[in-house]
Amino acid sequence: MINSFLATLHQNCERLPNKTALIFSDAHTPDHSVTYGDLETTIGKTMAYLQSLGVEAGDRVAVQLPKSLEFVYLHLAIMRLGAISLPLNPGYPPQELAYFIHDAEAKLFFVDQSLSADLALLSAQLPALHTAIVLDVTKTVVFDRLIAPFDPAATPIPAVLDDTCLMIYTSGTTGRPKGAQLTHSNLSYNLDALHQAWGWQESDIILHVLPIFHAHGLLVALHGALNAGATAILHPHFDATRTLETLVARRCTVFMAVPTIHRKLVDAPDAAAYDLSHMRLLTSGSDRLPDSLFKRYQATFGHTLLERYGMSETNMNISNPLHGERRVGSVGKPLPYVEARIVDPATDTPLPDDTVGAVQIRGPHVCKGYWRQPEKTAEAFTADGWLRTGDMGVRSADGYFTLKGRSKDLIISGGYNIYPPEVELVLAQHPAVSTSAVIGIPNDMWGETVTAVVILYPAAAITEAELQAFCATKLIKYKVPRHIIFTDAFPRNALGKVQKALLRQQYAP
């Protein structure tokens, strides 16, 4: 059994008490640096504070805060108590937020003051919610005062590694979002795999520009740095020029981003003038890296981006090598502890190399299932324990995997997953909308853009802007359709099912 992430972090804090663990660097305020010793003390005090609020092992604690040190402290303290961290996007409107908190039966909910007006709406829908705590993360003194009266808790690090410590909600192409239950063991095996594969070092400095509620930013980037005893510089907001300036000035060695961010970097003014030769690892994930961007990055910065493949249920699965060929268009080979195969989607029978099929994954990093959804869990796994990812792909004879799209209709825009039924359910609530079909249309900047093809009721009238505004009241911004196309009929098969593949062909640029 490998060492758990929380045990490794605790050891790093004791071994490197004076080393900088985190630097919160906002463009408008002075930097706030936190040593590993400070981090251990603050986690301990935060644990004691949470215990005073009644948090016990197994409880779900929802955290909907902007990217901040407070988010980091709460997340780590929740898991260290043996409770379950539930990170939530600050952009969720009340309708979506209420679902997550209700489904998870969260005991506590930490929310940013900018969203406090939504609490009145939520409280009526969430009678089981024990406490909602409003924080102003622009003033660190607010959180400091909350935990100041408490001595660091002496609670031992969770010893049962198969217990759930983190829940990340992920949607299917049908139904409501599902809570993927990640265990201490899941996180620890995957971090060890990435430590081996990507050569994490104590001397590393990572510039962190990703959202912190997302698996990419939270588990791969932040956990990866803390697990290695490295330093993470946290930028709360992405700005291309400031990012390039920081990479150079701080002598950063690691940078992780989605293709949309990488495209903005190569498009930045005088991008090629920034000398990034000191950097050792730049990765791309959460969406397919276009071949043209792969090559532009090489030409602009002299670096070959390392593309990899993961998902909320597993974290990282497959990666191009740190040393060796980083193949354009490919996500590389399975990481340590990870098994990957290509199968016939109808029979789960393994297919020969160079044959497109369904991607399946197995290993100790795969989640234990979906929160209180045994039917969905059973559907997601084969009888012998392989996870059906929902992605299509192909394996070459030398072991490299290349993804070939989704087996269903998942849309990935700017690194975020958007599942059409969630958007279609909202559109259906408008009295003018008879039916809709939501599809992804290829886009150079975002990967795909959300496009809704809509049929209105007879005599109904509404503009694209009006319908977008309606969606914006019920959906987070990146799920709101960028384009709405009005039509009189959909292409359908013999069973009456809308043929979205034909819609994508019809409306693709």
Question: Which residues lie closer than 8 Å to 191 by C-beta, 6 or more apart?
Answer: 5, 8, 219, 223, 224, 227
pLDDT for 128: 63
As a whole number of angstroms, the distance between CA 101 and CA 121 comes to 13
- Alpha carbons within 13 angstroms on the beta-carbon side of residue 180 total 23
Q: What burial class does residue 222 get, using C-beta atoms within 10 Å of its C-beta: 0-12 exposed, 13-18 middle, 19+ buried? A: buried
Q: Which residues of the chain have pLDDT under 50?
A: 173, 495
Kindly write down the DSSP assignment for every residue of 436-471, as one continuous string. EEEEEEEETTTEEEEEEEEEEPTT----HHHHHHHH
Q: What is the pLDDT of residue 495?
A: 47
Contact 331, 403 (CB under 8 A): yes
Task: List, in order of start, the domains of the chain with CATH numbers.
Answer: 7-15+34-159 (3.40.50.980), 411-507 (3.30.300.30)
pLDDT of residue 151: 97
Residue pLDDT, tens place only, 27-76: 999 999 999 999 999 999 999 999 999 999 999 999 999 999 999 999 99
Distances (CA, A) of 445 to 262, 289, 441: 10, 11, 12
Per-residue confidence (pLDDT) for residue 335, from 0 to 100: 98
CA separation for the pair 223, 191 (Å, rounded)? 8
With beta carbons less than 8 A apart as the criterion, state whether 304 and 326 touch.
yes
261: nearest Cα among 363, 414, 382, 117: 414
Q: What is the amino acid identity at position 131?
A: T
The confidence score (pLDDT) of residue 92 equals: 86
Residue found by looking up tokens 């986690």 in the block:
43
Give yes or no for a contact between 319 and 331, defined as CB atoms under 8 angstroms apart.
yes
| Separation between Cα atoms, residue 385 and residue 324, nearest integer Å | 31
What residues contact residue 17 under an 8 Å CB cut-off, 6+ apart? Answer: 35, 36, 37, 40
Residue 280's pLDDT is 98
| pLDDT at site 130 | 67
Q: Are 122 and 101 in contact (CB under 8 A)?
A: yes
Locate 98 and state its tokens: 């209420």
Q: Which two tokens stand for residue 340?
A: 């990957």
Cα maximum dimension of the chain: 71
| CB atoms closer than 10 angstroms to residue 353 | 11
Determine the pLDDT at residue 173: 46
Which residue carries 């493949």 as its tokens?
Answer: 309
